[in-house]
A and B are shown apart, each in its own frame.
Chain A
Amino acid sequence: MSPMLRVCAAMLAKDLRRELRSKEIFISGFLLSVILLCVIFFSVTASDLSFKKIGAGAIWICILFTGTVGMNRIHQSEMINGCYRGLILAPVEGGWLYLAKVAANVLLLGFAATLLLPLTAVAFHIPVFSNLPWLLASIYLGISAFAAIGTLVVVITANTRMKDVLFPMIQLPLVVPVLMGGVNSTAMALKGEPPGDWIQFLAALNVVFLSLGFLLYEFLLEE
């Protein structure tokens, strides 16, 4: 196995095993998303809007919430016991560590989204099967771009005094284009249309930010 793949596989296995044992992302992210779905329903219905129209928005609000809380948590647990220092000092190129971390984040968030989707479909009566492949593509490409940026920002803000406040403050404006791409392509997929441009936009975001992250992560692996 090539050294890069070896490192990625090791990182992935480690992060997934830790999450399976602690379930902290599941608890903090996913379960709170369920509450969020209720809040969305209450606020939409109280405003006399049909909740059936808000499907795409509801999915993405929950992904955003789970993602922000989750990624912050994942990184903080990495910092315990000085483990992050262990990663810095590993004889591995930073870019590969970055890709491994993004992959782990995508898997964990993707899993949460996969659980959320049927829930949201049932709660908001959304026609999930009208264009399922495009729907899944929009969600996973969106999560991937979200994780690509978040994995960088979480390390950036980890160096600061107010990391818990600064992380969402810096991360959220940066991911708005991802959200726009995600919401629009999800909404179009739910209408049964091919999302076309928006999926390409998400793909472009992925390419650009994964490449940037790969080049820049090395600079974050210092103290």
Chain B
Amino acid sequence: MKRQSYFDTVLLVLTFVVMTAAIIWALHIAPTANVEEGDNQRIFYFHLGSILPGWLAFFYVLYASIRYLKCRDLLWDRRGRAAGEAALAFSSIVLITGPIWGKAAWGVFWAWDARLTSALLQWMIVLGYVMLRRYMDDEGVRARVSSVLGIIGASMIPFVYMANRWFETQHPQPVIAGGEDSGIKDINMNIALLLAMASFSLLTFLFMRIGRSLLSAEARIKDIEARTHILEEEL
């Protein structure tokens, strides 16, 4: 227990430090990409920075689902749920920051480009995973069935990105798609991007740990409730 809270404290401090560095770099040190977009472009660091954590979290769902089905230990179900909710949070950030940046960069909130479309589909798949749990009461059934969906959903994500990439190469949209990755020549911009990715990844990890321990605490309370019930009946 003590070792765990020591680890959590270190994680929290590290996340804080890296996040602060990321904010300073992204908002202050990195130069603006071009004159038209100006400072609006800076949201791009957090937009791109959220994509990786979203993937990491959902692939952790895949891992936790497989572990649960192998050993049926509800701890893995709780880890999967925490990871799924973190994945949903970061996929939502991608989906919200994308159009904001899109409006600044291209003048439109939505363009059916590969990245945004894939982000939308990923978001819906992760949402399905999170929503499914809310409509099942039995914890054993919920854990088992969610694990199966977690594996299917996570396995489909690579296909989503592949399909959208190909589609875009065959049917390029008239909106400027090249503006996304081009322009990252300055070293400070690279550092800002890496820091954003790192800080959000650490944050995901932190969310997953906090989420899992909250769920474990909840489970312990329910267990105590159940046992108290029995004691009450026998007295």
**Contact surface of A with B, Cβ cutoff 8 Å:** 149, 152-153, 156-157, 159-162, 166, 169-170, 172-174, 176-177, 180-181, 184, 197-198, 201, 204-205, 208-209, 212, 216, 219-220, 222-223
Contact = CB atoms under 8 A, between A and B. Distances in A.
A209 B148 CA distance: 12
B152 A174 contact: yes
Contacts of B69: 216, 219
Interface stretch (B3-11, B40-48, B100-108, B163-171): B163-171
A56 to B, nearest CB: 13
Contact of B135 (A149, A160, A177, A209): A160
Given A169-B131, A222-B144, A216 B152 contact: yes
Contacts of A161: 135-137
B206 interface: no
Contact of B132 (A170, A172, A198): A170
B133 to A, nearest CB: 9
Nearest to A216: B148
Secondary structure type dominating chain A contacts:
helix
Contact of B149 (A156, A180, A184, A209): A156
Contacts, number: 83
B219 to A, nearest CB: 20
Secondary structure type dominating chain B contacts:
helix
Contacts of B163: 176-177, 180-181, 201
A222 B181 CA distance: 48
Contacts of B121: 173, 176
A159 B75 CA distance: 21
Interface string B115-149: 00000010011001001100111000100110111
A176 B152 contact: no
B23 interface: no
Given A149-B152, A173-B125, A208-B155, A156 B132 contact: yes
Nearest to B124: A173
Contact of A152 (B125, B147, B152): B152
A153 B164 CA distance: 23
Nearest to A170: B128
A184 B125 contact: no
B153 interface: yes
A223 B141 contact: yes
A209 B154 CA distance: 12
Contacts of A162: 135
Which one of B125, B145, B148, B153 has the highest number of Cβ atoms from chain A below 10 Å of its Cβ? Answer: B148
Nearest to B135: A160
A176 B160 contact: yes
B148 A156 contact: yes
A6 to B, nearest CB: 26
A174 B148 contact: no
A117 B42 CA distance: 50
